Amino acid sequence: MEENYLNEKPLEDSVYSEPQRQTAVPNAVLVLILGILSIPTCCCYGAGLIFAIIALVLASSGLKAYRAAPEKYTPGSYSNLSAGKICAWIGIVLSVVYIGYIVWLGFYIGWENFGNPEVILDRLGVDPSKYGY
């Protein structure tokens, strides 16, 4: 072996490790898709709420994995996870507001009158003759 004047290990003795490949945070894309779907479906009588809750549950498990070893995951997938979580919270708020509005409307005009547009317009103070009733 050659003499080493810099006190370095010889080339054949040193251990070279390949850089660790980064992967996507588990369920990051699915959380983003469900979070986005929760917003337009907030007016579908609770479908948006279901999508948002599933997205938040999946996001929490993905966040646990990311916090355990952030160097294993790509920054872009973490951004997708965060964006999906934010969209899910927006979907929850919109769904709760819409469901609250439907419940209020049901008590205000009466649940039995939901199929009668004349009564709905009359209870809301709109002249039904403007709309052909």
**Does residue 13 lie within any of the structural domains?**
no
Q: Is 118 domain-assigned?
A: yes
Give me the pLDDT at residue 3, please.
58
Q: Which residue has the tokens 């008590």?
A: 107
Domain total in the chain: 1
Residue-wise pLDDT tens digits, 69-87: 999 999 999 999 999 999 9
* Residue 52 within any structural domain of the chain: yes
Q: What is the pTM of this model?
A: 0.75
Q: What is the pLDDT of residue 5?
A: 59
Domain assignment present for 9 = no
120 within domain boundaries: yes
Three-state DSSP class for residue 112: helix
Residue 83: domain span: 28-131
The DSSP 8-state label assigned to residue 14 in this structure reads S
Structural domain includes residue 3: no
Helices (H), 9-68: 28-38, 47-68
Q: Say how many C-beta atoms besides its own lie within 10 A of residue 69's C-beta.
A: 9
pLDDT digits (tens, 9 = 90+) for 21-70: 899 999 999 999 999 999 999 999 889 999 999 999 999 999 999 999 99
- The per-residue pLDDT of the chain, averaged, comes to 88
Task: Determine, yes or no, domain membership for 22.
Answer: no
Assess if residue 84 is contained within a domain: yes
